[in-house]
Amino acid sequence: MAVADRFDDQVLRQQLVTVARRINGTGLNQGTSGNLSVRIDEGILVTPSSLPYEQMEVGDLVAMDLSGQPLKEKQRRPSSEWRLHADVLSCRPEAMAVLHCHPIHATALACHDRGIPAFHYMVAVAGGDEIRCAPYATFGTKELSDNVVNALAQRNACLLARHGMVTLGKDLESALRVAVEVETLARMYLQALQLGEPPLLSTHQMQAVHAQFRGLHYGQANQSPS
């Protein structure tokens, strides 16, 4: 998308609905769980509460400022996790989109307060040497959003203890790609644990991976290296 179009309300609304409708097909969500947001000039656009993605239309999205105040009248009720989205985008000015989902394998790990260590080089997709698990807090609370912001420090993905996953990106497609990668890693890690704790890549080895990613502009484009 051109820079001039970055905050075009209708363009962003259509992109958000399109990605939302794809999420359940990826296995990242079930039913009406999870939520998405994108940055706009005045704040954020976020998915509404309790509306199945396949029924969602552009007019159903909720525009609000970063304090949670609605920007338009007669809107639907926003996702109960709106604060998480607002706080992450407020603290991460380089991010344009946030995706929160409840994928089975990542959530299974998070139910044991486990993140994903450097058992595989693609853990670097999250921006560091491990994918952290944010401590548990009740959904929709400032405590939860604070925990997520901390777990996302210098990262673009984290797990949420006994809850799910959050990713961010330069756009919704990037956030979705990272979420799919992290869920794949979670499934691999759970399978590897059947044989015991897998050996981990060293700090030096992960530094080499990050250097390769930078050379491929992976961290900027959020594209898997070929």
**pLDDT at residue number 218:** 64
User: 82 and 58 in contact (C-beta within 8 Å)?
Assistant: no
Residue 226: inside a domain, yes or no? Answer: no
Instruction: State how far the alpha carbon of 10 is from the alpha carbons of 14, 17, 82, 85, 99, in Å.
Output: 6, 11, 20, 20, 19
Domain count, the chain: 1
For 95, the token pair is: 């991010």
Identify the CATH number of the domain in which residue 113 sits.
3.40.225.10
pLDDT of residue 35: 95
> What is the length of the chain?
226
Q: What's the pLDDT at 9?
A: 82
Residue 206 lies in a domain: yes
DSSP run (H or E) holding 157: strand 157-160
| Cα gap 129→127, rounded to integer Å | 7
Report which DSSP code applies to 116: B
Cβ-based neighbour number of residue 153 at 10 Å: 12
Q: List, by residue number, the catalytic residues.
A: 81
In a domain, 81, yes or no: yes
Q: What is the pLDDT along the chain (226 residues), one digit of tens a residue?
A: 333 344 568 889 999 999 999 998 898 988 788 999 999 989 999 999 989 988 999 999 999 999 999 998 889 999 999 999 999 999 999 999 999 999 999 999 999 999 999 999 999 999 999 999 999 999 999 999 999 999 999 999 999 999 999 999 999 999 999 999 999 999 999 999 999 999 999 999 999 999 999 887 665 434 445 4
Res 179: pLDDT:
98
pLDDT at 208: 97
Q: Is residue 187 in a domain?
A: yes
Residue at 89 is within a domain: yes
Domain around 135: 3-221
* Domain assignment present for 189: yes
